[in-house]
Amino acid sequence: MSLDGPEKEFHDQVRRYPTRKGSYNEVMRSIDLLHRAGIFNGIICGVSSVNHEFPEKLFNFFLAENIKKLKFARVKSIGHCENVSSLVISPAQYTNFMIAIFDLWLKLDDPEVEIRDIQSVVSLILGGNKRECIYMGQCDQFVTVYSDGLIYGCDSFPKTDDLCFGSVFDEPTAVRSNSRLQTFRELLEKRKEFCHTCNWYFICKGGCAKDCYEQFNSVEPLSEVCKNLQRYFEHISAKIRLYDLIEPRTVHSSAKGGEDRV
């Protein structure tokens, strides 16, 4: 379910029907039905120019509605949705929002509250596993199948020929060996080489193949994105270290297989 916060202030400004009517009431009714059926699995909240300055208000709203599984996603331009451009926020604005959410989550100290991105980062810092594609470094493993059966790369990318890997009507082996998919894989590997000196590679692994790079063929990540990712990881790592949970000799691997201290 997509829910961007309280009704008038946030959600209904962004999530409207073609008639311009807000969808808040229907979304909340659906969440209630899912809760009652025991199959509610949390919400995705778009973080945009409308709500990014109000992390505490959003956090408290979700908890008051008994919504404890949360995922936040930055509203960004993906090239073919011009009508969202006024909602787009910068990596710095999103990082400020997520750092505030992390601090609220830590202070609340309720293990039932799960924030997917934060859980992945904390888990990776503590030597565990990730749950988010953005920390897997395997963007070639995520595809979008369109209604005509064509298979493209992850839907964060616009639907371009560069990322058309075949069709559901092709043999699976033909899709796996598709030359565009191979080219995409080679690009991802080149990008990882670029990251080998970054202390946060063990979490980030080259980052989101769409968000961290200016163009599809870029190898070098955008410095603005990296600066903010690193600021986010540093903030969480510093707070986690205060709990004395990380072994002094905890190490992580860089892109070239070297070892660095957390």
Residue 169 is encoded by which pair of tokens?
């009507």
Assess 122 for contact with ligand SF4 (CB under 6 A): no
**How far apart are CB 102 and ligand SF4 at their closest, in Å?**
17
The maximal CA–CA distance of the chain, rounded, in angstroms, is 59
Q: Which residue has the tokens 């692994």?
A: 205
Give the one residue of 22, 91, 166, 207 binding ligand SF4; rule: CB under 6 A.
207
**How far apart are CB 147 and ligand SF4 at their closest, in Å?**
20
Assess 165 for contact with ligand SF4 (CB under 6 A): no
Assess 92 for contact with ligand SF4 (CB under 6 A): no
Give whichever of 60 and 90 is closer to ligand SF4, judged by the CB atom.
90
Q: Which stretch binds ligand SF4 (CB under 6 A): 166-174, 178-186, 195-203, 234-242?
A: 195-203
Cα dist from 32 to 1, 37, 40, 117, 223, whole Å = 11, 9, 8, 24, 42
Whole-angstrom Cα distance, residue 64 to residue 198? 40
Helices (H), 86-178: 91-108, 116-125, 172-176
Residue 174 is encoded by which pair of tokens?
């033909």
Stretch 144-163 residues interacting with ligand SF4 (CB under 6 A): 154, 156
**How far apart are CB 126 and ligand SF4 at their closest, in Å?**
19
Residue 161 buriedness (CB in 10 A; 0-12 / 13-18 / 19+): exposed
Q: Which residues bind ligand SF4 (CB under 6 A)?
A: 133-134, 139, 142, 154, 156, 195, 198, 200-201, 204, 206-212, 221, 226, 229-230
